[in-house]
Structure formats: C-alpha cells, structure tokens
Chain A
C-alpha cells in the first residue's frame, strides 16, 4: 500500500506555511459569485408569504387576486386551510413573478384567514411556561446529598443564555432551473454533495438528475445543510412558470424567524468543593428551548465531567418560535457558559484565582495535561498572575477592569470525502472533489496538500470544488471538513504521483519507489542530478492522463486525521459601572490542535470564532413578544452585532508542536467559539464584583446586577 503519511514536519515546503486564501482577491473584488448573485436571462423571482402569528390555524386561503396580477407566473399554497401553524414566519404560500417587486406585491394580494391560537414564546421564566416544559429523567451519579453535606463550601447561582440567530450574511435560498427532466440546483449551502439528494427525496425525484453547483457561500454556521421547504417550493415553481429558472432567497426577517437559531439554556446550579478548591458535588436544574420540536440540552457539567457526585435535571420547553438548527458547536457554548460561570462563582467564594481552581480540578477532565499547559500559556499571554485581582477589587473609579476564563472541547475528525487527482501529459494537475469553502480556507488547504504532495507550487494546481458531478465529499459541519478533504486529497495525489513515478522510473533508471517529487521536479531520492522537470516527466505519459482517486476512510484514517481537542479562553474587559457598558480590552484563545496545514486560516478561524462569541456575550438576543408572539428584532438593527471597534485585541495561540502534529489534521471550526461568552461573563463578574447572570451582558442587566435586582 502506498505511504499516505503526512511528510515529516521539518521537510514540508507548502503545508505549515501561513498562506493567504486563494479566493481572497475574487471575494474582495466582488468577482466571486454567490448563488444569491445569479441573475441569468429570464430568471423569475419568488417570495414566500409567511404567517404573522406565532400559533394559528389557517381557515381559508384565496390566491386568485395574486394569480391575476400581471407578471405573476405561479402561485403555490404551502399551508392549505386546516394547517396548524406553530411559529411566526411559517411558509403559507409562494409566488414566482418576473420581478421581485411584483412577487412581493402579489403575496400581499393573497387573502389568508387565521384562527389565532394561544401561544407561548418565552421560556426564561420556567414558572410561566405552563405545560410546555417536558422534564427529562433525573440523572444521579455518586451521592450528591452526602457530598454537599460534607463540602467545605457550596455556591449556588442561576445563569441564562438566550436563543440567538445564525445571521448568515447571505440568507438561505437557491436558484432552480429545469432542463428537460434534469434540475440545475444553485443553493446557498454547506453541503453541495448531499443537498441534491435531500431535494430529490422531497420531490420524489431521481437524485442523479439533480446537478448541484455552488462556488461561494455567505455563511452557514450549521444552518445550511438541507434543501428546506423553500428549496422544494423553488423547484416546483419553474414547472408552473413555463420552465424558466426561479430564484428564491429569504428576506432578512424570515431568515431570522425560520432559518434556524441556537437553543437557549438556563440553569440553577449548585457546586460543592473542599477548602482547597477540589470540586466534589454538582447539582443542576436546567431548561432550554429549541422551538416547538425541542432540542438544546447542554452537556453539563461541561469538560469537568468527572465530578464524582452529581444530580442533573433538565426540561425541554416548547415555544412557538422557529426551530433550532446546528449552531457552531451545538450545545457546547451554552454548556461552557453554565459550567464556567458556576466555577468562577465558586472560585470567588473561595477567594481563589480561577486559573488555580481550573488547574486544581483539571483531573476531572479528559485531558488534564493539555488544559494545565494551556492555562499556563494563556496566563502568560494575558499576564494574568500579575494583573488578576480578586472579584470586585477593581479600584475606585467608575470603570472597572476584570479578567475571566473558560474552557472548551470538541471532536473534529474527518468526514467522508473522495477526491480525484488528474495529471495530464502537458503537466497540468486537477484536483477534484465536491466539497465547499465556507470562507474558512478549504480551497486553500486542499491546494496546499496537493502542492505539497506533488512538489509543485500552489499555482500549478487547478482545484475544482462545489459541483455535484465531482467525487462526493461530506457536508461542512462539526469541524470535519479539513480532516476529510485533506486526507482524501493526500491519498488521491499520492496515488496519482505513484502512477507518474511508474511512468518515468525507467527513463531515470530507477524503481518507482526510489523517486520523489521536489521543487517541480521528479528525481531519484536525494539526487537532483538524476531528475526530470515536472513537465518533462508528464510528457512521458504519452496520450494518457493519470486519474486517481483518494478516499478518506473514516473508520481508519491512517493517522491522516483524528479528533478531540481542548482549549481555553481568557477575556479582559472594562465595565463602565455608571452605564453598564462592557468593552473588550483583550481576548486570548489558546487552542489545542492537530497538524495545521495553514496557520493563517487556522488562526483566522479562531479570530472569527472569538468575534462571533463576543457578539453573543455583549449583544445578541432574540427578543420575543409575549403579547403578539412576534420576534421583535428579526432585523439587523435591534438584533445587534459587533463592529470592528467593539471587538478589542484578540490574541490567538495555537499549540503547533511536533507532538500535536503526529495526531494528523483536526478541525478547528467550532472549539474556539465555545468559551467566549463564558469567559467574558466571568471577566464582567470579576470586574464589577457581582455575577451578571444572564447573557448578553447589556447595560440593563449589568446595572440591575450592580443594584442587586434580578435581571
């Protein structure tokens, strides 16, 4: 079997070098075309009529006036009379028309009558959700009652983190075009290989007849895997519109109402410890909502899973609001927030530095030594030991500074991925796989792996992704893309190179296994005198191209990729105690990783995660109105996100070491987002001297906590 192992760290020429995104110029110049940019001749525009009520039954629907509007080509009823609607924004009907404006006018001419039904849209107060809470069974480990009795110190707190939206810059949607009995499908997706099959299932259609293409996507964060109802509608509308292609992208409000959100999490938590900080007992009563369908059960206690005595109770609350979707590290940010907030409160009660408390209890985690080393590294970057002060001891002025800490863990690994490498007699190289680049640098790392293997510069590789005619590769979720595509690319390029070695070995008077590809040449190992240029070598192929596959074997990744990382995050904040405004001074992320193909995009992933977490810590919150059942801030105005000046200084430390390198490639998409809100919440508590129990840490909540009111 060929040797697929990654080349030794010191000998790598391309991998491991900080490399700019290959598609940066296209994106920065606007040349990159997203599915929502498509505007082919004859394109029709579709829009959705959505339900204005949080809970209602459709009693009648009359589309006749809309159908008569000039320019309207098709009207489809999605929720016929009798349908019970469970959240605002639910799709009622779809219209296609020759312009977006006509389509929007037309949906206003559809007459829908509703019987409005009672709704529950808020879950922050468990006592007010009526019968909407469903308790999961109690889980008990050890003897928590006895452990709490014997604990030297116990601390009790309540904490909460709201539902937040994904806020993809490019909303969900697609263009669908029928070509005879074939469909050309241009979605905005994290799953180019798989989404056609999903659409086919809903249409009861042959998936082989769906050709899916997408080169760029404007954000997904876990919310863009499926074809969705709007995709299915968009596929039906052309049939009723003379076969013309139809574009349907959600508007911002609908995007925020129905295209996914992250579950909330609330908990009352009690922690017991010995005087030296050793945690002995945990008790929590948590609840969360993921919309009507449930979802959202944070794994607590997070990371410190080996606390010997535990009692856990959890309730899922069904609310009349849009359903959840995976959001970057599903359930982990909530779990980290609940756990690390409680542990910081424990440290404050023990008058202990939380770095020491986390270190003391590292044995309760699955990777004690990793976390201990990271705490040390983070503390060094933050100058923690010199600058940290006990909770609330932050000087006499109105602006208080504080520091906080949190922890993360994630799997990663490599998803299913197949790759084809073609080497042509003229020396050109194609690497082909149906993956997608979410903006994370997937194009760049695939090209780097191919260039490394083939001994070529990046520019010599032509990469083709984002097209379902190419070998399939998994959806980009769970931080599994980099592991999957790098492994399949490595194998495909090693296999193709092996064929090239076989073709040129006789002319170099050597065996194929004595050859290597270095600096654009094929040569006898270590002997550049016996070599051919890449072009000359490829000419030996005569008329035949090489076309070799590589497959990531998920059950046996052969050391190319693996999973399981930990990380810590530290925040330094200033809080104006007169206004309650929190500013980020500095944010430090120390992240465990495997083999890093491109340090630049790896670091960029962590910057992005930190920024996303800062938004969640300070600004983001879905505001539901009890009286109307509406999401009041389904917009980009009062659903607040950070701007550049709100972010502060972010320092990323990646543990790039030979030891970690041996683990192969591990994805980094989710872990660095996990502990951000928790670390900022802890820094705020450290600064102002009291816990602000609920995120985001907005002025009203900070001031309420300072005044001792419930917020």
Chain B
C-alpha cells in the first residue's frame, strides 16, 4: 500500500474541502471492504484518504417529503433491517441481503455499494479498467464468463458491481452529490456511466464530490430483486433483476425492469417495461417480459449463459413482486 495522508473530517463541508480535483488525489473511506483491497493491490494509490464514517449527517434513514432519505454511510445491514425499507422497498432489502456475507453487510455502506469499482479480473490483476493491450481490450478474446452481455460494444466490458444500483434505478431514486461549491441531485440511472477511456470512472461523481444521500420516492410500487448467485456463501451475482411495478387494480400501470451484473451499468430493460404495461403479472406475462428484457443481448464468447440467467432473474423478480405487496 502506498503511504497516504489520513483525514478524519466531522462534517460534509470539511470532507469535501479535503477531496481532490483529479481522481487519484483523494479516496473516500467508508466501509473500506474494497477500498483497502484496492490500495493493497496498488490499484488505487491515493495521496490522501478521507474517512467519512465520523460524519453524523451521512447516517440515518428517514422520510423526507415524498422520499425515503438514506444516508450514504448507512450500512447494508442497517438498510436491510430498516422497517420502512422492508415495508416499502423489498427490492432494496433483497438486494442488500444478496451481499451474502454478514461481515460485508456490517461494514459496507450504501454509498460504497454505488461507488465501488468493478470486479473484472483483468482490472483486478492490474490490466487497467478497460483491460487494454496493444490498443484493444483483452476481454472479447479472453476469459469473459463473468463479463457484460449488454452495453458491451467496448471499450468497457466489465459489469457494474453495485447490488443496490438496479433496485434504485427501478425505483426512480436520486443521489445527492455535494462539492465545496454546492450540491446537485442526479437520477441513479444517470449516476452510472460507461467509461470511454482509462482515465474516467464508471460513475458520474466528480473527484471533488461526495455522495451524501440517496432519495427514494415513496410512491407505492410492487418491487422485488432476484439475484442468480451460484453460492449461498459470499459470491457475486451472475445476473440479477430488479423490478418496480405501479399497479392499477390487478394490472400493471407502468413497470421498471432493470438488470444487474450484465452491463457496465445497471441496465434498464425498456422493452420489458413496455411488454408489461396493461397486463396482469402471470407466469406467461412474466416470461414474455423476461424474453423482451434480454432480446437485445450481445453475449461474448463465454457468457451466453448469462442471457438465460438474466431472463430467469426478470421472470422470478416479477413473480416475486406480484406475490409481495408494497
């Protein structure tokens, strides 16, 4: 690990004053479950580490206007156990539960989940975020069984590692980003971006900004997350789907279906949304929507199976949402 300056601010204002103007100058430390690994592997070599765990205003889950406001340093375990989240947002509860190690849920934060770096094994082995070699990515001709099946025309082929991202996109949530010069709210859907070069990131956060809170609209929806994970113990999903359904009686007024772990960002499946409008959720309509969700998939040499897994995840998430209530 490269030596660094450690800062321990008590307020958001203090914290943002300590951030850098370029990536690599300062890293934010929240749960640290991945940050420390990144630093030990020299994938991140920040000059300064800004610990935000002592900033009280970053914690807590409460109603604020028509939203549920979730502080950035709320742990995944707090999120999962929160009564309001359980009641209104089973999809978030289920997504947090899918982070299948109690240790990580106890330490990892919701902000950290959204800002975490990809797990792509080329990136983690020091081949760079886009795994470029001699001007082309190693991924299409390489070991890509865990890589993207959507949004993979390059140069990025990794999948977004965020567990909460798909659910938050489906629920129409926003994140609040604060810098020394002010703050802005960004739809979670726009927060995730596909980097076009090695210097950029997979989120819209700027180096001088801090993600402070998440605002989830309390509009009633039937929502659910289904993850296909091979292991019960700690494991990354092979594919996931989050759905949020606004119902009119027993039929779907509008639907948001968002796939996870299949693209460099959470991947909205608009064709599935359209397929569901005006329909009741049955095994047949769920299957049709699931097929529509993966219709445009472009699998790589080793990950065709993920198309099937994404399809199953959509179908099961829809049936789960229809069974549950919000």
Contact = CB atoms under 8 A, between A and B. Distances in A.
B44 interface: no
Interface stretch (A36-44, A77-85, A628-636): A628-636
Contact of B1 (A52, A101, A641, A698): A101
Contact of A632 (B121, B231, B232): B121
A338 B315 CA distance: 37
Given A626-B142, A627-B142, A632-B122, A646 B1 contact: no
B199 interface: no
Interface in A182-211: none
A526 interface: no
B233 interface: yes
B305 A703 contact: yes
B232 A700 contact: no
A124 to B, nearest CB: 12
Interface string A543-554: 000000000000
Contacts of B142: 625-628
A699 B309 contact: yes
A632 B143 contact: yes
B121 A698 contact: no
A644 interface: yes
Interface string A47-88: 000001000000000000000000000000000000000000
Nearest to B139: A627
B228 A581 contact: yes
A579 B312 contact: yes
B181 interface: no
A637 interface: yes
A586 interface: no
A641 B232 CA distance: 11
Nearest to A634: B125
B305 A645 contact: no
B234 interface: yes
Interface in A656-681: none
A579 B309 contact: yes
Contacts of B236: 637
A294 to B, nearest CB: 25
A544 to B, nearest CB: 57
A435 B145 CA distance: 45
B234 to A, nearest CB: 7
A623 interface: yes
Interface string B190-234: 000000000000000000000000000000000000001011111
Contacts of B302: 700
A699 B229 CA distance: 10
A643 B138 contact: no
Give the interface residue-count category, chain A.
Answer: 20 to 34
Contacts of A644: 233
Nearest to B229: A581
Given A578-B308, A619-B230, A108 B42 contact: yes
A623 B234 contact: no
Contact of A618 (B122, B124, B127, B230): B230
Contacts of A619: 230-231
B317 to A, nearest CB: 13
B142 to A, nearest CB: 5
B129 interface: no
B138 A628 contact: yes
Interface string B1-15: 111000000000000
A60 to B, nearest CB: 21
Contacts of A104: 1
B150 interface: no
B238 interface: yes
Contact of B138 (A581, A618, A627, A645): A627
Contacts of A623: 121, 143
Given A625-B143, A637-B119, A698 B230 contact: yes
B231 A643 contact: yes
A405 B58 CA distance: 56
Given A101-B1, A630-B125, A637-B119, A646 B232 contact: yes
Nearest to A645: B232
Given A699-B305, A703-B308, A581 B230 contact: yes
B225 to A, nearest CB: 15
B230 A699 contact: yes
A635 B37 CA distance: 11
A704 interface: yes
Contacts of B126: 52
A578 B3 CA distance: 48
Contact of B127 (A628, A633, A638, A645): A628
B234 A643 contact: yes
B146 interface: yes
Nearest to B303: A700
Contacts of A637: 119, 236
A162 to B, nearest CB: 13
A349 B115 CA distance: 53
A495 B149 CA distance: 72
A669 to B, nearest CB: 25
B81 interface: no
B90 to A, nearest CB: 21
Contacts of A703: 305, 308
25 contacts: A52-B126, A104-B1, A108-B42, A578-B312, A579-B228, A579-B312, A580-B305, A618-B230, A619-B230, A619-B231, A623-B121, A623-B143, A626-B142, A627-B142, A628-B133, A628-B138, A632-B122, A632-B143, A633-B121, A640-B230, A640-B235, A641-B233, A646-B231, A699-B228, A699-B238
Given A627-B141, A632-B121, A633-B121, 13 more contacts: A52-B126, A101-B3, A105-B2, A579-B308, A579-B309, A625-B122, A628-B138, A638-B121, A640-B230, A642-B231, A646-B232, A699-B305, A704-B305
Interface of A: 52, 101, 104-105, 108, 578-581, 618-619, 623, 625-628, 630, 632-633, 635, 637-638, 640-646, 698-700, 703-704
